[in-house]
């Protein structure tokens, strides 16, 4: 299995980092280890919620979601260390093209929010589902030493539980959460979310049956664990556990390993510095969100506080999603199956 950049063969698609004893493990081994770690955390969270009476009634933990954002959001900084679409470090036209693509994605959601906030938020949720699902589906294949390709069923089975089933399972929690953004928003989104949740459950069933038939037991266990997480834990608590101990952790390992295999490898210290800056930026963005929600003025540049919060979410999620999808698409196109 080989990957080609600029017509020249390079090392296997499983990059071997430059230094450190633990970093010499092949990517499939690292991904297998992080998979079991995230599964253990999710299983523990579900067990605790089922065992503790005060939590079993659907008690949400917003503090957990805040901590997850602080520790999890910096995983997006790894995107900037990847050879995006095989171009290496971005500069010149490549930089303009990439930034323009990111801004276009944010502009679409901003325009949708201007027309109708429910469409803007719906797009943010849909983009999140695609990102969560495609990332996990890509990881599952790379865990077996295969290129990061995926299908619609796999993306929905992995990404739909957090984005759709959780909201359908806990309508009152979602109502309180969405009402902060805009009154009536939860009611307007209820129908589309129920449809998406139903489609997700069908996708989960198809995916699990297919995985069992192929004897891909870990894939079946993963999707089942995600479904159990959102059925037992309320949205904010489930998101906190998932974002910090599942999605972010896996993306760190998957993309960091690839970035270490580029012609210009970087050290763990480089990653820590990048993450520190991103964490600080997360705190600033969080403060901006709080200010917007507490704004006394009814609108700012014709946008209410809730509208600006949707745009803020889009500005954080869309570029990261585009970057990872582009990289995975390029990597899959330049990698041969075993």
- Among the ranges given (77-91, 113-127, 237-251), the one the predictor scored with the smallest mean pLDDT: 77-91
Output the CA torsion 240→245→251→256 (10° steps): 130
Residue 91 counted as domain residue: yes
pTM score? 0.75
* Separation between Cα atoms, residue 124 and residue 128, nearest integer Å: 6
Would you say the C-alpha torsion 68, 74, 78, 84 has a positive or negative sign? positive
Inter-axis angle of helices 235-242 and 171-179, nearest 10: 80
Is residue 127 pLDDT above 50, yes or no?
yes
Q: Pick from 81-95, 100-114, 199-213 the range whose average pLDDT is largest.
A: 199-213
Burial grade of 156 (CB within 10 A; 0-12, 13-18, 19 or more): buried
pLDDT average, residue stretch 74-90:
59
Residue 6 counted as domain residue: no
Residue 74 DSSP label:
G
Residue 100 counted as domain residue: yes
Domain hosting 237: range is 21-333
- Among the ranges given (8-12, 47-51, 211-215), the one the predictor scored with the smallest mean pLDDT: 8-12
Burial grade of 12 (CB within 10 A; 0-12, 13-18, 19 or more): middle
pLDDT average, residue stretch 290-308:
56
Residue 251 counted as domain residue: yes
CB 323 within 8 A of CB 79: yes
Residue 13 counted as domain residue: no
The pair of three-digit structure tokens given for residue 104, joined into one six-digit string = 């276009």
Model pLDDT, residue 210: 96
Residue 75 counted as domain residue: yes
Would you say the C-alpha torsion 9, 145, 36, 316 has a positive or negative sign? positive
User: Residues with Cβ < 8 Å from 328, sequence gap 6 or more?
Assistant: 134, 138, 148
Residue 146 counted as domain residue: yes
Residue of 60 and 264 predicted with greater confidence: 60
pLDDT average, residue stretch 47-53:
86
- Among the ranges given (110-114, 195-199, 279-283, 319-323), the one the predictor scored with the smallest mean pLDDT: 279-283
Model pLDDT, residue 10: 39
| Tens digit of each residue's pLDDT (9 = 90 or more) over 258-275 | 766 655 555 556 556 655
Residue 16 counted as domain residue: no
| Tens digit of each residue's pLDDT (9 = 90 or more) over 32-46 | 988 999 999 999 999
**What's the total number of domains in the chain?**
1
Assign 5 to helix, strand or coil. Answer: strand
């Amino acid at each position: 299995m080989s990957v080609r950049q600029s017509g020249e063969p390079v090392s296997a698609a499983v990059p071997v980092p430059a230094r450190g004893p633990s970093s010499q493990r092949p990517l499939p081994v690292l991904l297998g280890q992080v998979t079991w770690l995230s599964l253990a955390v999710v299983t523990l969270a579900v067990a605790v919620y089922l065992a503790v009476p005060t939590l079993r009634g659907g008690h949400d933990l917003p503090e957990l979601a805040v901590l997850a954002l602080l520790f999890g959001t910096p995983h997006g900084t790894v995107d900037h260390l990847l050879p995006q679409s095989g171009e290496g470090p971005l500069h010149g036209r490549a930089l303009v093209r990439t930034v323009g693509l990111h801004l276009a994605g944010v502009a679409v959601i901003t325009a949708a929010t201007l027309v109708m906030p429910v469409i803007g938020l719906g797009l943010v949720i849909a983009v999140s589902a695609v990102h969560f699902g495609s990332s996990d589906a890509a990881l599952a294949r790379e865990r077996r030493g295969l290129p990061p390709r995926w299908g619609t069923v796999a993306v929905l089975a992995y990404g739909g539980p957090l984005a759709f089933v959780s909201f359908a399972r806990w309508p009152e929690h979602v109502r309180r959460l969405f009402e902060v953004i805009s009154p009536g928003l939860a009611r307007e989104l209820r129908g589309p979310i129920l449809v998406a949740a139903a489609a997700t459950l069908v996708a989960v069933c198809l995916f699990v049956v297919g995985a069992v038939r192929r004897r891909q037991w870990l894939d079946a266990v993963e999707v089942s664990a995600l479904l159990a997480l959102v059925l037992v834990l309320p949205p904010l608590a489930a998101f906190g556990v998932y974002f910090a101990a599942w999605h972010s952790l896996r993306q760190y390992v998957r993309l960091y390993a690839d970035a270490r295999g580029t012609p210009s490898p970087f050290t763990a210290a480089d990653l820590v510095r990048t993450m520190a800056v991103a964490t600080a930026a997360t705190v600033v963005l969080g403060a901006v969100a709080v200010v917007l929600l507490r704004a006394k003025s009814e609108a700012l540049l014709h946008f209410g506080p809730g509208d600006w919060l949707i745009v803020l979410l889009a500005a954080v999620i869309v570029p990261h999603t585009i970057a990872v999808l582009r990289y995975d698409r390029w990597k899959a196109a330049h990698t041969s199956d075993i």
